[in-house]
Structure 1
Amino acid sequence: MGRANSGRWFMDNIRRRIGNGSQTKFWEHKWAGSTPLRMTFPRLFQLATDKEATVGEWGKWVDGEWIWEFKWRREIRASEQEMVDRLTNFISQCVPCADREDCWTWLASSDGKFSTKSTYSILKAYSNVLPRPNADADFLNLIWKAKTPHKATMTTWRMLKNRLPTCENLRKRKILMTDEATKCCECDMQEESTNHFFLLCPKTDEVWNELQKWLGIVTARPNHFGKHFGMFISFGKEKKIRNLLLAIWVGCIWIMWKKRNERRFDGKLWDSKNFVLEIKIRLWFWNMIFEIVEDAMDLDAWCSNDFICKLL
């Protein structure tokens, strides 16, 4: 219990639920996405006039419709307008509700209510992924047990070793020299590090959200890819489920990297829902080849929601 308390297990699993927006800080609290907006949109955070403002202070009701009113310390430039548009789209599903107060919600349970049972599950999962002797070696050895094509396994192994040619790594090798050249090609807000691209970028954050919906997993995510990997596969209580979650994680990392390269070098766009559909179909074919789980299942059943529940 003490080891789990040394991390951010509690803060990772709470989030502000927006009511009238009067008690939730727009930039500082986690209320849209899995991280505070100051981390998701750091450049816009620097341009904000009031960094302590609440959600309710950044908009108003007009004829029964909520209208966002952003307040910047200077006029937004053309190159920054796309970021503002992304912010608007990012928070569009989290508009205030005038007849209720803001409150905290517990992400580890489906009803948003804190319970000792869900807390125990979270603490157990976190205790499995906290740093310990040879933890990295354990993860890397586990990757090679994945029932996935070798190219997918190799890409994931390189990712966990931080050896993929991300913009951050290319900058460290002095291949990329300017700040603009190292920006993430999906969000154009932060430097493209391994941790940012695969976990913290708003685009890939959407992918993990959609993926968890498919699997019926309700939890917050650690903000480091090594801990995320450990927590993700820890939801498999049986060997066949762990094998499946391992294959899904490897497949997701591989396809993310493929999409990243297609976007950066060919300008191809992609969205999270189609991405998850591609993962579902690809994993179904892999299961036919590698027999990840023995239970035969047609494609429609495989792609349905609460997928893992069908295997328990």
Structure 2
Amino acid sequence: MKAVQDHLPTLVGLARRNIVSESVECKLCGEGEETNDHLFSGCYIAMGILDFISHWCGIPNIYAFSGKDLIMAHTEAYMDNKKNKAVQAIIFTVVWCLWKSRNEAMFDNKDVNAAKIKQEIKALGYLWIKNRSCCKTITWIDWCNFTL
């Protein structure tokens, strides 16, 4: 995954490649340099979303110091295999939705809306789990209550 390998074109990464940018400030929070690690674990928007995910899934708080820590966070939750895979899929969805929101802020001048990102994670995660796993019978209500 490009987020773990530091291959995403973050503003700091682009500046490192001599691609000029007016600022390397995070497009989500505006409070730090936009690196992979900041975007997915240090940004206060990302931290709020990870807190939401922890509470929703009923797992210990996710403390990630890097993109790699975030991708591996599901292994620290000590759940059965089915829930573990669901949390892993949710974390992948978090990464996707944060990157998508960053791109919308950068290229479309859209405001960052944490509530919208959370809703998108739930909806997209549900569709991915329901259509790409053995949980084809899961209902939206079960998903929202995270009773797998």
Deviation string 1:127-161 (CA, Å, 9 cap, x unpaired) is: xxxxxxxxxxxxxxxxxxxxxxxxxxxxxx01111
Structure 1 residues 222 and 257, CA gap change in structure 2 (3 angstroms): closer
CA distance in 2, matches of 1:227, 1:235: 13
Residue 124 of structure 2 is aligned to residue 270 of structure 1: no
Q: Cα distance, 1:251 vs. partner?
A: 1.2
CA distance in 1, matches of 2:119, 2:83: 20
Q: Cα distance, 1:220 vs. partner?
A: 5.2
CA distance in 2, matches of 1:228, 1:172: 24
Which of the numbers 32, 36, 60 marks the counterpart of 1:190?
32
Structure 1 residues 183 and 244, CA gap change in structure 2 (3 angstroms): same
Larger mean Cα displacement after TM superposition, 271-280 or 247-256: 271-280
Which of the numbers 64, 67, 81 marks the counterpart of 1:239?
81
SS of the residue corresponding to residue 3 of structure 2 reads helix
Q: Cα distance, 1:259 vs. partner?
A: 0.8
1:282 alignment partner AA:
L
Deviation string 1:6-25 (CA, Å, 9 cap, x unpaired) is: xxxxxxxxxxxxxxxxxxxx
Structure 1 residues 273 and 217, CA gap change in structure 2 (3 angstroms): farther
User: Residues 241-260 of structure 1: matches in 2 within 5 Å?
Assistant: 241-260=83-102
Structure 1 residues 237 and 220, CA gap change in structure 2 (3 angstroms): closer
Higher helix share: 2
SS of the residue corresponding to residue 277 of structure 1 reads helix
Residue 83 of structure 2 is aligned to residue 230 of structure 1: no
Q: Cα distance, 1:292 vs. partner?
A: 4.8
Structure 1 residues 292 and 160, CA gap change in structure 2 (3 angstroms): farther
Q: Cα distance, 1:240 vs. partner?
A: 1.5
1:165 alignment partner AA:
P
Report the TM-score when normalising by structure 2: 0.88
CA distance in 1, matches of 2:78, 2:121: 19
CA distance in 1, matches of 2:127, 2:62: 29
CA distance in 2, matches of 1:284, 1:226: 23
CA distance in 2, matches of 1:242, 1:226: 17
Deviation string 1:6-54 (CA, Å, 9 cap, x unpaired) is: xxxxxxxxxxxxxxxxxxxxxxxxxxxxxxxxxxxxxxxxxxxxxxxxx
Report the TM-score when normalising by structure 1: 0.44
Who is 2:124 aligned against? 282
CA distance in 2, matches of 1:250, 1:302: 16
Q: Cα distance, 1:219 vs. partner?
A: 2.7
The alignment yields a C-alpha RMSD, in angstroms, of 1.9
Who is 1:142 aligned against? none
Gaps of at least 5 residues in structure 2 are none
Which of the numbers 130, 141, 144 marks the counterpart of 1:300?
141
Deviation string 1:147-176 (CA, Å, 9 cap, x unpaired) is: xxxxxxxxxx01111100001101110112
Deviation beyond 3 Å, 4+ runs, structure 1: none
Gaps of at least 5 residues in structure 1 are 1-156
Who is 1:209 aligned against? 51
Q: Cα distance, 1:200 vs. partner?
A: 0.7
Who is 2:18 aligned against? 174
